[in-house]
Amino acid sequence: MMQVENEVGCPGGTRDQLPEGKAAFNAPVPKQLIDYMVKNKEKLVSEFRQYWEAAGGKTSGTWAEVFGNQPMTNEIFMAWYYALYVDQVAKAGKAEYPLPMFINVDLGEGIGNYSSGGALPIQLNVWQQGAPSIDIIGPDIYLPNFAEWCQRYDRSGNPLWIPETRGDAANAFYAIGNHAAMGISPFGIERQADANDALGCGVRIAGPGGPRILEAQAQGKINAVSLDARHPAKR
């Protein structure tokens, strides 16, 4: 596969303040996006649909009129135009090498804690429509609520691929078993694993079992549970 850009977005700010950016923000939301939203309203990720509906569910108007005059609207606006640009890059790349293309996402729980305009869960559909040449939107999961982030990216037809994460073998097996993850890549694995620790043992188990794991994923016959102090048992 090919990663197109790295953790796309703007750290610190929420919206382009150049004259061209302001003009685009005060212009009508592009028909391409509005038509997609209307046609797929019931299939939109819940966060995005609820945000749109809370602003009145309008089908025309400026970005602030359609989505509300809120900081998150700035992010949706930026996500759309980042997606359009990245799509051009991916499309040009595929014309030379027809490989699957993916982006990775800088995650955060609150505005200002991640790169604005990236494909966070609320922007997932915006990115999918704006950048159809991107085949996979992959979260870089370093936050502790690993299972929740897996759930938020394993939807809307987006295959789960985790291009960056902590070296946690339990998380890897959870993603592969419970969300049919096509892959998980602990960042800097060469510096944090050896053959005898949990991650190294996990690689030794998963590697030879790859064909059976893939077959079980395709058939929906694989599952995993994650147990911890708060959830010591699961049926």
Q: Over the stretch 101-121, which tens digit does the pLDDT of each residue have?
A: 999 999 987 777 788 899 999
Work out the average pLDDT over 85-98: 97
Confidence at 235, pLDDT banded by 50, 70, 90:
low
What does the alpha-carbon distance between residue 85 and residue 116 come to, in Å, rounded to a whole number? 15
Q: Is residue 69 part of a domain?
A: yes
DSSP 44: S
Residue 164: per-residue pLDDT = 96
In a domain, 212, yes or no: no
Pair type for strands 2-3 and 136-141: unpaired
Q: Is residue 10 included in any domain, yes or no?
A: yes
Helix, strand, coil: what percent of the chain each, to 5?
Answer: 45, 10, 40
Dump pLDDT digits (tens) for 136-165.
Answer: 999 999 998 999 999 999 999 999 999 999
Rounded Cα distance between 87 and 44, Å, is 20
Q: Is residue 115 part of a domain?
A: yes
Which phi and psi angles does 28 have, rounded to 5°? -60, 145
**What whole-number distance in Å separates Cα of residue 8 and Cα of residue 56?**
29
pLDDT tens for each residue of 37-91: 999 999 999 999 999 999 999 999 999 999 999 999 999 999 999 999 999 999 9
Average pLDDT for 4-28: 91
Range of the domain at 130: 2-99+109-135
Quote the mean pLDDT of the chain: 92
> CB of 171 within 8 A of CB of 139?
no
7 vs 205, more confident: 7
End-to-end alpha carbon distance in the chain: 37
Say which amino acid occupies 208: P
Query: How many domains does the chain contain in total?
Result: 1
Q: Does 51 reside within a domain? A: yes
Record the pTM.
0.91
Which residue in 163, 143, 150, 82 sits closest to 116, CA to CA? 82
Report if residue 177 sits inside a domain.
Answer: no
Q: Is the pLDDT score of 99 beyond 80?
A: yes
pLDDT exceeds 80 at position 12: no
